[in-house]
Structure 1
Amino acid sequence: MAIGVVGPHDLVEQIMTIGAGLPAAADWRLVGAPHSEEQETYEKFSRIADTIDVVLFTGPLQHDLARQTGELPVPATYVPMSGASLYASLLRGVLSHGIDPARVSIDSLPATDVEEAYSELGIGTAGVHLSEYDRPESARAFAGFHEQLYRQGATTAALTTIRSVAKKLTAADVPVLRMMPTVHTLRLALNTAALLGTGSRLEESRIAIVVVELAASARPSYAGPGNYWQQELKLSLHQALLADARLTGATVAPRDENSYVVTATVGSLSQATDGFRVAPFLDRIRTELGVAVEVGIGLGITARDADANAMVAVEKARNSGGAAAYLVSGDGTVLSLPLRQRRRADKEPVVTTKAAKLLDRLIEGLGDGPEAMVVDAEIVADVLAIAPRSARRVLQSLAEEGLAWPLPPVKGSAAGRPRQPYRLVKT
């Protein structure tokens, strides 16, 4: 598992050194992304985002800056700033800089942590000034907060967790101590990141079940081995599902006469649906086959739970008229996933008046049943009263205009050219 570490150079280096010495180091790989200024946080993170499973920011400021700039594609956590880092800073300040710990300004830390630390040290807090971290906007005022108090003589030094604030105060000749997280805190943060990454991996590897069901309007009026139209439709539907399923490593199997079940992982299906924002399979089936289907997605802790949720989801898709796919997760959350809008070609195909009129004549002569929408040259020749050769040209012309979709050829018992069926597409 790859753990990204994003923050100032010194903290990133320290975390990677500590991480390399931990017993669990054999199970993870640390990827450092140090920055010089806090504003570079998201840029540095984005450079490694595709190569990591989880990201550990060196503090809440970096974490919040990254989240403000853009969506984080991986789980994220940060090193907490707590009172533990205050003890070492105060001791260092007293021994090395001669500061008065009762007259300092402190930023970032929660008030309860500061009060607890001073209480344990037996020092009063009447002369201690605190500016807590709220959001990145609050951090912009830290340097001014510290400098003003020092200029007024209210403090003997400033304690900050932020590297850029420490640099500004040093340039302004304000005594400053940078509070660094303890080694123990960094170890805990690394373990938290590892657990978060492991949980995300387990979540992505869970089973997802997708049920794709022919809409009632697309089903044949009778079923059975003698219904060749039904067999051709099932084969074409299976091929269309396989074309998309191969891209995600999913498997496709018939569920019954009118539906298929697609088995995938949550992670692979998330990629195929843009993070569960668009429906899977619907666009290809409607575009290539011209038939209506209902798609339901089920997630769950077990395959059985996922399958049960998929059946609930496909029922919701059926009630919506197949306008969208539905997802039902293990906790009962329901999502509606709209049809993906495929990019059209630069030039839209123009349906000729002649082709449109021929299609209208065919549909009028064939009727409205779903079986009637599958034709071959013999049927077209009979309906339009033309020669079979002319009928084949008509079907080729309709296919070129997007008004008919060629289905797999059907071999007959007699020798000769296999029968080439087409599915007519209503406009």
Structure 2
Amino acid sequence: MPTHRGPATEVVAIGVIGAEPFVHRLAAVAREDSTTAHRLVTAAYEREKHAREAAMRIADDVDVLLFAGPLPYDVAMSHGALPVPATYVPTGGVALPTALLRGVLGGAVDPARVSIDSVLERDVRETYVDLDLPSDEVHVMEYHDNVSPEQFFDFHQDLFAAGRTSGAITTVPSVAQRLEDAGTPHLAMAPAALTLRNALRTARLLGSGARLEDSRIAIVVVRLPSSFLPQRTSASNYWYQELRLSLHRALLPDARRMDAAVLERDEHSYLVVTTLGSLRSATSNFARAPFLGSIAEVLTVEAEVGIGLGRTTLEAEENAEQAVTQAGDSGGGLAYLVGPQGNPVPLPATQEAPTPAQEPAEDPHRETLRQIVGALDDQDDASRIVDAERISRIQGVTLRTARRTLRTLVDAGLAWPMPPARAQKVGRPPIRYQLLDERLGT
């Protein structure tokens, strides 16, 4: 049974995706932290282009995926969303000065005449200033989601062949291998242990959040349409009693598959109580409606199906009532889902039918991030690290709305949670988020 779909547990299963040396190194760092409840499931690849294939091999067995860097992460995400939340180990940080020091001590490259990939140019320049090294002949190629390993290799190789550098510093294992094959001096810039530990903490946060999300209550109301209701329900309405029993029997197979309880709600409807994770799995991540297909096979009646999600049973049932009313008003053929945000989403009986729920929802999220980043720029804040209180002040909204905004950005791959800062006062420290404004493009 997949960890992220099974019973609640304190152990977070983290899938580690990367080249074999990275996988072994991160596993060694993870083993050092024996006090944290986590389990690693690893999948190594030889080339970054195989990142998604490696991730899909283990996706059913983990709560979250952790990629070796932004390049394999973007390769995996470029073919569609992954079944579980995902994040990656950031480039740069203390890895750059460490690589430069290795270059000086080992004589592999001259740090003053070198090409560097993946790292932000401003970080490179600031590092050289801090180390009191000249950077006039240092060439940088930043990573963007449309940059390939081949482009990184050509960048390094062309500069070296022209005599403009003494060698290369790369974060991409396949690029390092090609430079080795070409006889070009180079250093592999691997993430520092501190960076790996922080990435593991971030992965645990995402995995825990996803598991808690999947354990939320989901309630489905299945109701007979009003046009089939007798004016007075009584034991003498045998045909109607038989119809209700047939509806109940039609619900049971799907309910068993999602480990749900089927309860009589009133004379005209049933409640199906389950968890969000089970419902998500049974509906292919809400690509189709539950029960509509099986009911149509057994009955000649198009039942009305409404799905409610919520943090409590009461909230989920209220949302389910709103959803089934919407289904009744729509005239049949569609179920409706209503979550905590209150927006009804139509779901078809079969996965092939197009629905608004399958439309990409990145544009509004990117616009939200763009507005937040613009406000941070106006305040001369280039850190791109915020918490809910900061977002609340920027957007002029409540803390609850700000937290929802940050979670939405995380779900859209435009931010990722960071370990809380050290508490300066009594109480639980707020969760900080790293905004990924580089994903906005130009």
Q: In 1, Cα distance between the equivalents of 2:343 and 2:126?
A: 42
Does residue 300 of the first structure (1) align with residue 306 of the second (2)? no
1:328 Cα shift? Answer: 0.8
What is the distance in 2 between the residues matched to 1:333 and 1:191?
33
Which residue of structure 2 lines up, in the alignment, with residue 265 of structure 1? Answer: 275
Residue 173 of structure 1 pairs with residue 198 of structure 2: no
Shift of 1:106: 0.6
Provide the secondary structure at the position in 2 that maps to 1:137: coil
Counterpart of 1:101?
111
More displaced, 112-121 or 294-303?
112-121
- Distance in 1 between residues matched to 2:242 and 2:108, nearest whole Å: 88
Counterpart for residue 163 of structure 1? 173
Distance in 2, Cα, partners of 1:340 & 1:142: 44
1:206 is the counterpart of 2:216: yes
| Equivalent runs, 1:181-196 vs 2, <5 Å | 181-196=191-206
2:277 is the counterpart of 1:275: no
Residue in 2 that maps onto 1:351: none
**Structure 2 counterpart of 1:12:** 23
Cα drift, residue 189 of structure 1: 0.7
Q: Which consecutive residues of structure 1, in runs of 5 or more, have no partner in the other structure?
A: 343-427
Q: Write the distance in 2 (CA, Å) between the matches of 1:72 and 1:255.
A: 36
Once residues 272 and 108 of structure 2 are traced to their aligned partners in structure 1, the CA distance between those partners, rounded to angstroms, is 70
Aligned residue identity for 1:210: V
What are the Cα deviations for residues 208-241 of structure 1, in whole angstroms up to 9, with x where unaligned?
A: 0111111012211321233222222222222222
Structure 1 Cα separation of the partners of residues 334 and 184 of structure 2: 62
Alignment deviations for residues 92-114 of structure 1 (CA, whole Å, 9 cap, x no partner): 10111164322211100112221
Q: Give the distance between the partners of 2:266 and 2:217, measured in 1 at CA.
A: 21
Cα shift at 1:286 = 2.1
Could you say which residue in structure 2 is the equivalent of 1:54? 64
Please state how far the C-alpha of 1:41 moved relative to its aligned partner: 2.0
Match of 2:391 in 1: none
Structure 2 alignment gaps of length 5 or more: 1-11, 353-442
Which residue pairs with 2:249 in the alignment? 239
Q: 1:75 aligns with which of 82, 85, 102?
A: 85
Distance 1:92 1:15 in 2: 21
Let me know the Cα RMSD of the aligned residues.
1.7
Question: Are 1:224 and 2:211 matched, yes or no?
Answer: no
Q: Distance in 2 between matches of 1:314 and 1:290?
A: 19
The list of structure 1 runs, each at least 4 consecutive aligned residues, that deviate by more than 4 angstroms after superposition, is none
Residue 107 of structure 1 contacts residue 132 of structure 1 at CA under 8 Å; is this kept in 2?
yes
Q: Is the Cα contact below 8 Å between 1:218 and 1:292 reproduced in 2?
A: no
1:373-399 CA deviation, whole Å, 9 max, x = no partner?
Answer: xxxxxxxxxxxxxxxxxxxxxxxxxxx
TM-score by length of 2: 0.74
In 2, Cα distance between the equivalents of 1:149 and 1:83? Answer: 24
Counterpart residue type for residue 11 of structure 1: F
User: Which whole-Å CA distance do the structure 1 matches of 2:79 and 2:305 have between them?
Assistant: 35
Relative distance call for 1:334 and 1:139 in structure 2 (3 A) is farther
Alpha-carbon separation, structure 1, partners of 2:148 and 2:39: 34
Q: d(CA) in 1 for partners of 2:223 and 2:258? A: 20
Instruction: Map 1:360-379 to 2 at 5 A.
Output: none
1:283/1:341 contact within 8 Å kept:
no
Amino acid at match of 2:136: A
Which residue of 1 is the match for residue 295 of structure 2?
285
1:287 CA drift (Å): 1.9
1:2 equivalenced with 2:13 (yes/no): yes
Q: Does 1:123 align with 2:133?
A: yes
2:149–2:174 CA contact under 8 A, matched in 1:
no
Q: Aligned-pair distance for 1:46? A: 2.2
Aligned partners of 2:58, 2:343: CA distance in 1, in Å?
A: 32
Deviations 1:58-80 (A, max 9, x none): 11111111222454111111111
1:346 corresponding residue in structure 2:
none
- Tell me how far apart the structure 1 counterparts of residues 122 and 313 of structure 2 sit (CA, whole Å): 47
Residue correspondence of structure 1 range 128-147 to structure 2 within 5 A: 128-147=138-157
Aligned with residue 32 of structure 2, among 15, 21, 46:
21
Matches within 5 A, 1:285-364: 285-340=295-350
Alpha carbons of structure 1 residues 173 and 98: separation in structure 2 relative to 1, 3 Å: closer
- Name 1:367's counterpart in structure 2: none
* Counterpart amino acid of residue 101 in structure 1: P
Asked if 2 retains the 8 angstrom alpha-carbon contact of 1:276 and 1:337, the reply is yes
The TM-score with structure 1 as length reference comes to: 0.76
Q: Alignment identity in percent?
A: 49
Say if 1:325 and 1:98 are closer, same or farther in 2 by CA, change over 3 A. closer
- 3-state SS of 2:137 partner: coil
Offset of residue 243 of structure 1: 2.5
CA distance in 1, matches of 2:77, 2:351: 28
Deviation at 1:18, TM superposition (A): 1.1
How much does 1:341 deviate? Answer: 7.5
Specify whether residues 339 and 69 from structure 1 end up closer, same or farther in structure 2 by C-alpha distance, changes over 3 A only: closer
CA contact (8 A) 1:249 1:264 kept: yes
- How much has 1:136 moved relative to structure 2? 4.9
Tell whether the 8 Å contact from 1:83 to 1:117 is kept in structure 2 after alignment: no
